Amino acid sequence: MFKKKEPTPQFIKRMKGQDYIDSTRKYLDYLEEHLNNVAKAFSELSEACNGKEYWVGDDFTWWTFKAEVEAHDLSKFSKEEFVQYRDNFFHVCDEDKESSNFHVAWENHKDKNHHHHETAEHYIDIVHMVIDWIAMSYKFGDNPRDFYNKTKPSMNIDEKLHQYVDELFSHLEEYRAMRNAEVRHFTFQIARHFPLDERIGRCQRLVEVKAIGDTAFARSHGVRSAAPHPLHRITRRDGERIRLERKTHLLDGVRLGQCARGDCQRCGYNSDRLTIPNA
């Protein structure tokens, strides 16, 4: 049976409106990336300030603050800001940017969102502002404190709020230093299965790899290569394959080596424990 052929746009290859569809998609992608980074920044700063700041320790305050973060930049989807932001930052032509009235949308945005220093008044506004800066640092790969230092001379906020910004960055830097030290120094413990004492039959020995990529240290202890990742498989010289399993609470715990077979009955290692018996 003859099938009717669907019409094709053989005379028009691209509609002019497609340019605005593409620019809108780019702007939406940018917004989505930023909102995801804000969520990550909130989690990181919450961990960094845990036990140090009231807004983390107080349950009601933290959940209230979390709800506010979830509404971050929501005004950018409003009629007062969406098209104006798109035409200013993702414009199709120069005429669109010139007529975008972005300055009006920017004033509306600052009025609706107090995570900008022009409208920040309270300590909780400062926390929102620092989270926004951390989120932007994820995108551009820079240090949020450096951005603050550049912006500080033009910031018209109380000196106490400046001190609080410094405190938040200090918490963040201490947390990151602790986390990086965990990853780089004395963080991998490799459980190796080979006979250390044939008389008692214990097979497990702890080897501490001083730093990721320290292959010389690893080889000196019978391991072909240092593991760059907690789940990366490595091979001992005798060919037996073992793996590292991450055993942490968020980023603050202890990473332990575990035999690929699971719990080891011979040496008493249990995968639910955070220690390995000394061989």
Stretch 60-65: mean pLDDT, rounded?
90
Report the mean per-residue pLDDT for the chain.
Answer: 73
Q: Judge whether residue 262 has pLDDT over 80.
A: no
Query: Taking 60 as the threshold, does the pLDDT of residue 267 lie above it?
Result: no
Contact between 253 and 275 under an 8 Å Cβ cutoff? The reply is no
Residue 72 and residue 115 in contact, taking contact as beta carbons nearer than 8 Å:
yes
pLDDT digits (tens, 9 = 90+) for 107-142: 999 999 999 999 999 999 999 999 999 999 999 999
Q: What share of the chain is helix, strand, coil (3-state, %, to 5)?
A: 50, 10, 40
pLDDT score for 258: 36
What's the pLDDT tens digit per position in 77-107?
Answer: 999 999 999 999 999 999 999 999 999 999 9
> What pLDDT, on the 0 to 100 scale, is given for residue 179?
83
> For residue 214, what pLDDT is reported?
43
Per-residue pLDDT tens digits for 20-58: 999 999 999 999 999 999 999 999 999 999 989 989 988
Q: Is the model more confident about 227 or about 63?
A: 63
Whether 210 shows a pLDDT value over 90: the answer reads: no
pLDDT at residue 14 tops 70:
yes
Query: What's the pLDDT score for residue 241?
Result: 38
Q: pLDDT tens digits, residue range 145-200?
A: 999 999 999 999 999 999 999 999 999 999 999 887 765 543 344 333 434 443 33
Helix (H) or strand (E) holding 98: helix 94-98
Global confidence as pTM: 0.65
Phi-psi region of 106 (alpha: psi -120 to 50; beta: other; left: phi over 0): alpha
Total number of residues shown for the chain: 279
Instruction: Give the torsion through C-alpha atoms of 124, 128, 133, 137, to 10 deg.
Output: 120
Minimum mean pLDDT among 66-75, 110-119, 259-268: which range?
259-268
| Rounded Cα gap, residues 206 and 32, in angstroms | 45
Residue 219 half-sphere exposure, CB side, CA atoms within 13 Å? 6
Give the pLDDT of residue 183: 53
